[in-house]
Chains A and B, each alone.
With several copies, the nearest count.
Chain A
Amino acid sequence: MSERFEIGIDELFVVNVARTIKDKTTVFHGVSSPIPMVAMYFAKLTHAKDMVYFGGVSSAVDPNPPFLPPTTNDWVMIQGRTAMVTVDKIFDLAQRGELDRSFFSGAQIDKYGNQNVSMIGTPEKCKIKFPGGAGGCNLSGDCVNYTIWTTRHRAQRKGDRKFFTFVNKCDFVTNVGHVTPYGRREELDLVGNGPDWVVTELGVFDFDEKTRSMRLRYLYPDTTVSDVIDNTEFELIVHPDVRVMEMPSRAEVEVIRRIDPLGVRKLEYPERELSRRFTI
């Protein structure tokens, strides 16, 4: 076990997401969420054995699937379960303030953690239609906390323009962050406390208590503060004590490979990111 062991960005990313899950909490992932799906199953098998694990829309309680499929609503995801509920019961739990964590992403994300999963343009004149937030609009308001993840932090250059995922302002707010276009969470009487962690392929972030804005906390071994700043449109807060994230153990990575033999954890990345490897 003292030999050197190579892991991919996909595995390290999963661990980063899993670390936002605490034991003895209720956790749900939505649709189009391969990374949270792997991270939740991983957490349930490692540090969060008493987590109440809702396996997506399939809504099995504590499933023990033989492998993880590329779609969240397949019979694979109800195998080895303790019980079945219907998905509306998970939303009830959330609306009662008892769903501890979920995971959301967006094509655009602002500094307060608001996310656009709906569209660029207007409903009447829609330029780009994204899939829609599924349960995100409600759950981002209701969950005790949630984790934002995206594998597309890196801005894209098209000609001389730079397109950001982390934008100054979302064209449309689907899922709500700490300060919404309609006011702060407490002004809106929302049940939940909003996003507390953001995991991207460039770093891990929390939110500054005072300004409620995203704050860089951890870097990957191969990313720098300026990488992160360059790829973020809004002004990013950098924690005075930014560190390189802790690496997972070999045993942990082996769990990930075992539960995800199809590699669905890799589906979310632009091709080039997957060449990022780390030695532990």
Chain B
Amino acid sequence: MGVFTDRNKLVTMEKAASMINDGDIVAVGGGLCMREPIALLRELMRQGRRDLHLVGTAHGFDVDFACGGGIVGAVQETHVSFEQDFGLAPNYRRACETGQVKIRENCCNTIIMQLRASEFGIPFVPVRSIKGSDEIKLHPEFKPMIDPFTGKKIVLVPALVPDVAIIHAQKADIHGNLKIMPPYVADVLFIRASKKVIVTAEEIIPEKEMIEEGPTIPYYETTAVVEAPFGAHPTSCYPYYAYDREHISEYIKSAGESAEAFKERYLNKYVYGVKSPEEYLEKIGGKAKRDRLASWKESQERWMELFSYE
């Protein structure tokens, strides 16, 4: 939602992060370990943002990292983990168990329907299936009712309107047209349901080229655009790079140990101490790392290797 007609929406990462306020409801794009706007999360940490209320479906690195970086006040995702790849999300767990983060766990279809209500400009939608689950306890805002058409039990769930969606796209132009490659997960829905849409993009391409490709999202739906190559690292942003299993493994080691270890060994190294994207790239392994993560397309064997690497 929201309509943005500026011809030039290109801003710096600092400026983009400054458009997100303490306490905002934030829909974080991508999912699990794919195409998450991690560079923007790092900048939010450097700016000391606080108390963000994250919403979304099944996520992993982004939410765990944001919890570990201290910028989160509530989590309304449906699942947060590194799957059986690396297991439970250590920072998220700790934040929930210490009470640092409020647990507002939700379920995928419920949250999709709530975002659709926002996209459609309607106050609520009925959902058939929440009934029977204790998840309803986490959402006193839901209203059970008898469907006046069928006489059956149904639950009304209100529109969920994120203050901002933060999305990492493959391509953008300065007018704000976006090319996102599937799987979209919930990105398109986030964009249409949120009041503001801040996009980091692997590449900024000329508008003419974008129009020839056919934008996934038209310009008027986006608020600001940041050029951010490697902006999803260590999650994947195909076709540019696969996820960085080596880096995530290092992440998990410190995060799994303690909040202090995570701050000292991870945040200080990769977030607070880092002045530029170039410096970040250097720290994570420079050109060799970049080449290795792009090697997935060379052969099935090279691609498989990226999933074995620790």
Contact = CB atoms under 8 A, between A and B. Distances in A.
B134 A118 contact: yes
Interface in B261-286: none
Interface stretch (B16-24, B30-38, B41-49, B226-234): B30-38
A234 interface: no
A237 interface: no
Contacts of B120: 92, 95-96
Nearest to B146: A189
A141 B132 contact: yes
Interface stretch (B185-193, B196-204, B250-258, B287-295): B185-193
Contacts of A268: 84
A50 interface: yes
Given A57-B58, A83-B177, A95-B121, A129 B107 contact: no
Contact of B107 (A83, A84, A136): A136
A58 B177 contact: no
A275 B219 CA distance: 43
Interface stretch (A66-74, A155-163, A220-228, A248-256): A66-74
Contacts of B138: 123
Interface of B is mostly: mixed
Contacts of B148: none
Contacts of B1: 96, 98
Given A60-B183, A73-B185, A191-B129, A181 B84 contact: no
A70 B84 contact: yes
Contacts of B83: 31-32, 34, 70-72
A131 to B, nearest CB: 4
Interface stretch (A3-11, A172-180, A205-213, A239-247): A172-180
A262 B308 contact: yes
A264 interface: yes
A78 B183 contact: yes
A137 to B, nearest CB: 4
A88 to B, nearest CB: 5
A180 B133 contact: yes
Contacts of A83: 177, 211, 214-215, 217-219
A34 B119 contact: no
A128 B94 CA distance: 9
A52 B108 contact: no
A119 interface: yes
Given A74-B33, A138-B127, A26 B220 contact: yes
Contact of B33 (A34, A51, A73, A85): A73
Task: Name the residue in A82, A180, A190 with the highest tally of chain B Cβ atoms < 10 Å from its Cβ.
Answer: A82
Given A24-B5, A60-B183, A173-B133, A138 B103 contact: no
Given A189-B131, A189-B154, A73 B32 contact: yes
B217 to A, nearest CB: 8
Given A60-B183, A86-B182, A268-B84, 10 more contacts: A32-B81, A58-B182, A87-B57, A97-B121, A123-B138, A132-B78, A135-B108, A138-B110, A142-B129, A174-B133
